[in-house]
Amino acid sequence: MKKRIIHIVLSFTTLTATAAPPTALQCEQLINPQGIDTRHPRLSWQLSADGNGIRQTAWQLLVASTPELLAKDKGDCWTSPKTTSDQSRMIAYAGIPLKSGHTYYWKVHIWSAGVSDGGTPLAFDTWSAPAQWSMGLLDPRDWKAKWIGYDSSFSWDSVSKFSRLSARYFRKEFKQPGPIKRATLYIAGLGHYIVSINGQPVGDQVLAEPPTDYTRNVKYNTYDVTTVCKTGENAIGVTLGNGRFFTMRPKYKPQKIKEFGFPKLLLQLDIEDDKGRHQLITGNNSWRFTADGPIRTNNEYDGEEYDATKEFAGWTNAGFDDSRWLKPQYVSSPGGRLTAQMNEPIRVMSTINPVSIHALQIASISTGDHPTPPTTWILDMGQNMAGWLQLKANGQRGEKITLRFAETLKPDGDLYTANLRDAKVTDSYTLKGGGEEVWHPVFVFHGFRFVAITGYPGAPKINDFEGQVVYDDLPAIGQIETSDTLLNHIIRNAGWGINANYKGMPIDCPQRNERMPWLGDRATGSLGESYLFGNGNFYAKWLDDIEESQKPSGSIPDVAPAYWNYYSDNMTWPGTYILVADMLYNQFGDLRPIQKHYASMQRWLHYMSAKYEHDGILTKDKYGDWCVPPESLQLIHSKDSLRNTDGTLIATAYYYHLLTLMQKFAGLLHQPDTFAKHAAVAKNTFNKRFLETGHYSNNSVTANLLPLCFGITPQNERTAIIRQLVQKIAANDNHISTGVIGTQWLMRGLTEFGHADLATQLATNKDYPSWGYMADQGATTIWELWNGNTADPAMNSQNHIMLLGDLLTWCFEDLAGIAPAEPGFKAIRMNPVFPRQLNYVSASYDCPYGVIKSSWRRNGGIINWDITIPPNAKAILNGKTTVGSGTYHYTLLQDSSLKKNATAKQTK
Ligand code: BGC
């Protein structure tokens, strides 16, 4: 390909600079968080001045114990010195020791500089508005409450493979003698809890708390409940659901499925009166409980059954007669240490209205001598989603509505449930009668597009139903649109697939009897996701889950938390531990996960190399290039099963790559580099073993791609291997032949090697196998398999995201040209490609410094490019020109063949 010079011709637009206070104040990447347990929380803000080249020159932080002191500029907890620095992210609190249960108030004073419209230097200083955080319980001794619960089932429950365990309702009344200054609730309710005080729900989170390996770590939440508690009589009510604690499939494959026991509760309510006296309400056996309530069963795979005739009105208010309720038991602690939830809660994030409803006509059952079966109504949400269905109904007491969920329909119009395996995915609601009733489940979620409704009183109307989309409340931070409508459709499907699979941990799918946090699915997926969702805290929590699943030997499982016991020892799934830590550093500038997990990562690598490395070759693999299109499978070694790429090649390439990341981490942490020599041996032996004339191993796309992307290929062989790679794809009619592993590097790799047009071809293909094929077949999410419309139902989820590979990353980094050049986008690498198939791309990305924009549009032989760089960041355009914050317009002259790393020349 001919080397090209892009002429960047035009001017840049400047805006008048005005000093505005810093915004987006965050503590531990959360806005005004309650109940954190970090002793040196990190504070961040964004600058918000207009103008060009705005950068912070100094900062000063004030942290006070009361809002009044802060208002008087008195930082009694911490008054930092004025610090000459452009750092505006994650500055660690360094004041007096923080105390359990206290609230802290803070603000920041910043000094910044830039240039005005006319190029006049500007300098200004401003204070932010106040922000706050509160501390949780920092010392285990701060917990005065005891775990309560009831360690057996009831006659209406069944503890079997398909467990049916009713929800448990706990209540306590108490009297508060004097006026309340502040009331704070600390709660851990396993598996899930809902809490109300005086009839009012506390918080708007759902499916709280996030799942962990409860024997290692139990999350608790803190709520300010000052306004719901009152002087006089009060009542508190907690409902406990099963979640992952009382597992969905107990008494079944105990060697595989981890069980934790019956639901349990730890609760402490601290009420401070106007004289500073504290009353502590704690969970103990003076509480009352029952399991004979409306939620008859709740099982994440099988659904929730609710009988409204069993409701007990007013039970979370004072004065309710609980004399027939039982005394809870003191139960053992689940074992894990108590830590504050430091990631965003799960919420109902949006609602969708169904697009159609009709009565199901099935000839075979509606004819003959049989009585007419009850009408089944098929509701179509128009979107494969994860969450639940809210219904409205008006009927007789005792009438029961049943809802069954599925992703697709069979040709006869009924639900297609074969791909759900043995998940029953059925909710039911029994009416209490007497008016309109509105209901949705609370302790389960379903992955579905279609719902089969039976037993509905009368004929349901479409607006009797609402889909409530449930996932972690992560900010939506990225948008991208291109001139290719199919690609836009794929990106939209990706967004739905990602949100569906965020459930306090990243799960593989939301519908069948699995829903497991498989590591390999997120190895680079987590990076692509970070361009759509602010997933920094979410994945930091998951790295803790992974660490907690590590065995003393160093082995890391393929599923973490290890609800399924899969310690199969391979590089590609557990290696996600290291890749995600790197992602958090690059995307969010968060070094802490690397600091926190470095030792465990190192232990894992040592374990793997001691056990499975021979002269640089990593001999153990498990999944190969998982889920390649089936026709790409071949026999590589006669003794193996069908694969598309040699597992030893994959394992060794990943081993090398992970070693290089550990080298980087060692450098960041000023640790000795113990990895370089292993990496050198691995690289050398890899090439000796797998490099053949002009290609690697069996010449699959993945076999050639990995060594190229990881820098294993000798310089003098690169051109030949790239040629082979491209030819292999061409021989496959320019279609994809990679699985979960190859697809993680494919799009970025091809683009980096000068083949952005080919990458774009793969991204916009409409026929099999491709992402576009899925969309063209009606998918509204991403399938588990390239042939998801014809594959074996046992492994055929319609809502897996692992095959996205690096598609989203490529869209943002290469098509839009928005990539971090320094951690957290302090410097932005803006180097878009302009593939011939696309006429425009427009993206915005809310990075830690503010919103980055990049839009280009082809106009004849010219490209018009508009970019916005947030304050206190800079951008490096096409590897050459550095610009500070501001909004700029460029015109790029180009001929038809454009090379990615072409030299850019800017003239004002
Ligand atoms: C899961 C995948 C996972 C794979 C590995 C599948 O059942 O759905 O997401 O990575 O198993 O074996």
* φ, ψ at 583 (rounded to 5°): -60, -45
pLDDT for res 902: 36
Q: How far is CA 876 from CA 10, 86, 831, 856, 881, in A?
A: 17, 18, 8, 16, 5
CA dihedral 205, 208, 211, 215 (to 10 degrees): 150
User: Where does residue 129 rank: exposed (0-12), middle (13-18), buried (19+ CB within 10 A)?
Assistant: exposed
**Could you tell which of 421, 503, 508, 744 is best to mutate to test the pocket of ligand 1, judged by most ligand atoms within 8 Å of the CB?**
508
Spatial separation of the C-alpha atoms in residues 219 and 528, rounded to whole Å? 27
pLDDT for res 797: 96
Contact 600, 547 (CB under 8 A): yes
What's the 127 CA to ligand 1 centre distance in angstroms? 50
Contact 869, 851 (CB under 8 A): no
Helices (H) and strands (E) in the chain, counts: 15, 48
Which residue, 441, 30, 89, 498, is CA-closest to 221?
A: 30
* φ, ψ at 509 (rounded to 5°): -160, 155
- Which residue reads 């909710």 in tokens? 427
What's the 843 CA to ligand 1 centre distance in angstroms? 32
Centre a 10 Å sphere on the Cβ of residue 358 and count the other Cβ atoms it contains: 12
* Poorest-pLDDT segment among 146-160, 586-600, 789-803: 789-803
Mean pLDDT within 582-589: 98
Mean pLDDT within 144-153: 97
User: Which residue, by CA, sits nearest to atom 8 of ligand 1?
Assistant: 508
pLDDT for res 584: 98
What's the 625 CA to ligand 1 centre distance in angstroms? 12
What's the 788 CA to ligand 1 centre distance in angstroms? 14
pLDDT for res 906: 34
C-alpha 902 chain-centroid distance: 35
User: Which residue, by CA, sits nearest to atom 4 of ligand 1?
Assistant: 518
Spatial separation of the C-alpha atoms in residues 871 and 748, rounded to whole Å? 28
**Could you tell which of 512, 516, 564, 795 is best to mutate to test the pocket of ligand 1, judged by most ligand atoms within 8 Å of the CB?**
516
In this structure, are strands 827-830 and 874-877 parallel, antiparallel, or unpaired? parallel
What's the 508 CA to ligand 1 centre distance in angstroms? 7
In 3-state terms, what secondary structure has residue 906?
A: strand
DSSP string, 659-723: HHHHHHHHHHTT----SHHHHHHHHHHHHHHHEETTEETT--HHHHHHHHHTT-S-GGGHHHHHH
Centre a 10 Å sphere on the Cβ of residue 363 and count the other Cβ atoms it contains: 8
Work out the pLDDT band at 368, boundaries 50, 70, 90.
Answer: low
**Could you tell which of 511, 626, 783 is best to mutate to test the pocket of ligand 1, judged by most ligand atoms within 8 Å of the CB?**
626
Mean pLDDT within 96-107: 98
Cα-only R_g, the chain: 29
Query: Which residues sit opposite 180 in a β-bridge?
Result: 273
Q: Provide the token pair at 732.
A: 């496959």
Residue 335 region, left (φ>0) first, then alpha (ψ -120 to 50), else beta? left
DSSP string, 53-88: EEEEEEEEEEEESSHHHHHTT--SSEEPPPEE----
Centre a 10 Å sphere on the Cβ of residue 1 and count the other Cβ atoms it contains: 10
Mean pLDDT across the chain, nearest whole number? 94
Spatial separation of the C-alpha atoms in residues 472 and 735, rounded to whole Å? 34
Work out the pLDDT band at 894, boundaries 50, 70, 90.
Answer: low
Q: Residue 215: CB partners within 8 Å, gap ≥ 6?
A: 260, 334, 335, 336
User: Which residue, by CA, sits nearest to atom 1 of ligand 1?
Assistant: 508
Contact 428, 403 (CB under 8 A): yes
User: Which residue, by CA, sits nearest to atom 12 of ligand 1?
Assistant: 623
What's the 250 CA to ligand 1 centre distance in angstroms? 21
Q: Provide the token pair at 231.
A: 């002087």
What's the 247 CA to ligand 1 centre distance in angstroms? 19
Q: Looking at ligand 1, which atom is closest to the CA of residue 622?
A: 12
pLDDT for res 483: 98
Pocket of ligand 1 (CB under 6 A): 508-509, 514, 518, 520-521, 623, 800, 802
What's the 707 CA to ligand 1 centre distance in angstroms? 25
- Which residue reads 């109307």 in tokens? 461
Q: How far is CA 560 from CA 444, 509, 545, 611, in A?
A: 20, 15, 6, 22
User: Where does residue 781 rank: exposed (0-12), middle (13-18), buried (19+ CB within 10 A)?
Assistant: buried
Whether the per-residue pLDDT at 363 is higher than 60: the answer is no
Q: Looking at ligand 1, which atom is closest to the CA of residue 795?
A: 7
Q: Provide the token pair at 100.
A: 């359990």
What's the 601 CA to ligand 1 centre distance in angstroms? 22
What's the 792 CA to ligand 1 centre distance in angstroms? 14
Spatial separation of the C-alpha atoms in residues 110 and 127, rounded to whole Å? 6
**Residue-wise pLDDT tens digits, 396-435:** 999 999 999 999 999 999 999 999 999 999 999 999 999 9
Q: What percent of the chain has pLDDT over 70?
A: 95
Q: Residue 21: CB partners within 8 Å, gap ≥ 6?
A: 48, 126, 127, 128, 129
What's the 627 CA to ligand 1 centre distance in angstroms? 9
Which residue, 614, 687, 624, is CA-closest to 650?
A: 624
Whether the per-residue pLDDT at 730 is higher than 90: the answer is yes
Work out the pLDDT band at 117, boundaries 50, 70, 90.
Answer: confident
User: Which residue, by CA, sits nearest to atom 3 of ligand 1?
Assistant: 518
pLDDT for res 370: 57
Longest CA span, the chain: 91
Q: Provide the token pair at 701.
A: 């796309």
Q: How far is CA 380 from CA 415, 452, 776, 783, in A?
A: 11, 9, 18, 19
Q: Looking at ligand 1, which atom is closest to the CA of residue 518?
A: 10
In 3-state terms, what secondary structure has residue 593?
A: helix
Contact 241, 346 (CB under 8 A): no
**Residue-wise pLDDT tens digits, 347-362:** 999 999 999 999 998 6
What's the 518 CA to ligand 1 centre distance in angstroms? 6
Q: Provide the token pair at 630.
A: 């089936």
Contact 133, 217 (CB under 8 A): no
Q: Provide the token pair at 150.
A: 């009831």
The number of residues in the chain equals 908
C-alpha 361 chain-centroid distance: 40
Whether the per-residue pLDDT at 901 is higher than 50: the answer is no
Mean pLDDT within 614-620: 97
User: Where does residue 16 rank: exposed (0-12), middle (13-18), buried (19+ CB within 10 A)?
Assistant: exposed
User: Where does residue 319 rank: exposed (0-12), middle (13-18), buried (19+ CB within 10 A)?
Assistant: exposed
pLDDT for res 15: 42
Q: Provide the token pair at 490.
A: 């794929």
Residue type, 25: L
Answer positive or negative: Cα dihedral of 604, 608, 609, 610. positive
Work out the pLDDT band at 632, boundaries 50, 70, 90.
Answer: confident
Q: Looking at ligand 1, which atom is closest to the CA of residue 800?
A: 9
User: Which residue, by CA, sits nearest to atom 11 of ligand 1?
Assistant: 518
What's the 533 CA to ligand 1 centre distance in angstroms? 23
Any idea what DSSP says for residue 141? G
Spatial separation of the C-alpha atoms in residues 485 and 464, rounded to whole Å? 33
Q: Looking at ligand 1, which atom is closest to the CA of residue 566?
A: 12
Work out the pLDDT band at 369, boundaries 50, 70, 90.
Answer: low
**Could you tell which of 421, 501, 518 is best to mutate to test the pocket of ligand 1, judged by most ligand atoms within 8 Å of the CB?**
518
